[in-house]
């Protein structure tokens, strides 16, 4: 597949929309995550709309709410906007409480179309890989970055895996392997 100029415009839009943002607990530009998610989407068979949505999957949540979603729809079309909306767990500031927001997202995700589940699972795979890598580097202090802590974060990932019934099975298996490794590391730290 050849990506069009539209994909390039989405890169520029995502860079501008997430300007100055970094990954939790690091100085890594947030945009690196968006590129990684788009790469995973393409690796698992996503089309250009899904790859663009991967670049923009957090822009509503982190940079503008519903007005931003309307702008995404105008610039990139209904299909991209629908995927972005499906990947968004909150579009208000402040966000609703963490646990209820995640429970609602999991419940809704189960009924979302395959393209939404693909982008969401790619996002979670990259996040879980980062968590596992960081756990090896800094240990249990990692959990302090997250509202759900260790137990809540692991609960969330395990329930997402169960909800991904329309995502590519190989992607879900890879996410399961990474989360299983993360759970094993967490169990070891919990025993010590």
Cα–Cα distances in angstroms (integers) from residue 83 to residues 46, 73, 144, 185, in the given order: 12, 10, 30, 33
CA pair distance 67, 91, nearest whole angstrom: 10
Distance CA 183, CA 136 (A): 13
- Pair 19, 29: CB distance under 8 Å: no
Say what the pLDDT of residue 188 is. 83
Look up residue 36 and give its two tokens: 């990684």
Three-class SS state of 168: coil
Catalytic site residues? 61-62
| Averaged confidence pLDDT in the chain | 94
Contacts of 89 (CB under 8 A, 6+ apart): 61, 101, 102, 104, 105
For residue 182, what are the contacts with CB-CB under 8 A and spacing of at least 6?
Answer: 128, 131, 132, 135, 154, 157
Contact of 85 with 115, CB cutoff 8 Å: no
Q: Which residues of the chain, if any, have pLDDT below 70? A: 190-192
Structure-token pair, residue 117: 């589940």
pLDDT at site 186: 87
Output the pLDDT for position 189: 72
Report the percentage of the chain scoring pLDDT > 90.
84
Q: In the prediction, which pLDDT does 76 show?
A: 98
pLDDT tens per residue across span 136-162: 999 889 899 999 999 999 999 999 999
Q: Which domains does the chain have, with CATH numbers?
A: 5-191 (1.10.3210.10)
pLDDT on residue 73: 98
Residue 64 has a pLDDT of 84
């Amino acid at each position: 597949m050849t990506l069009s100029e539209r994909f390039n415009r989405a890169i520029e839009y995502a860079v501008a929309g997430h300007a100055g943002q970094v990954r939790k607990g690091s100085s890594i530009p947030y945009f690196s995550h968006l590129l990684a998610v788009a790469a995973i989407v393409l690796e698992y068979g996503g089309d250009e709309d899904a790859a663009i949505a991967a670049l923009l999957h957090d822009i509503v949540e982190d940079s503008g709410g519903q007005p931003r979603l309307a702008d995404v729809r105008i610039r990139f079309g209904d299909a991209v906007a629908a995927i972005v909306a499906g990947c968004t767990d909150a579009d208000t500031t402040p966000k609703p409480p963490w646990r209820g927001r995640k429970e609602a997202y999991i419940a809704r995700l189960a009924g979302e179309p395959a393209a939404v589940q693909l982008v969401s699972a790619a996002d979670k795979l990259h996040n879980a890989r980062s968590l596992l890598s960081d756990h090896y580097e800094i240990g249990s202090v990692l959990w302090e970055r997250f509202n759900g802590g260790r137990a809540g974060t692991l609960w969330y990932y395990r329930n997402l895996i169960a909800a991904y019934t329309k995502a590519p099975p190989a992607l879900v298996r890879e996410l399961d392997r990474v989360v299983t490794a993360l759970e094993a590391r967490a169990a070891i730290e919990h025993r010590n």
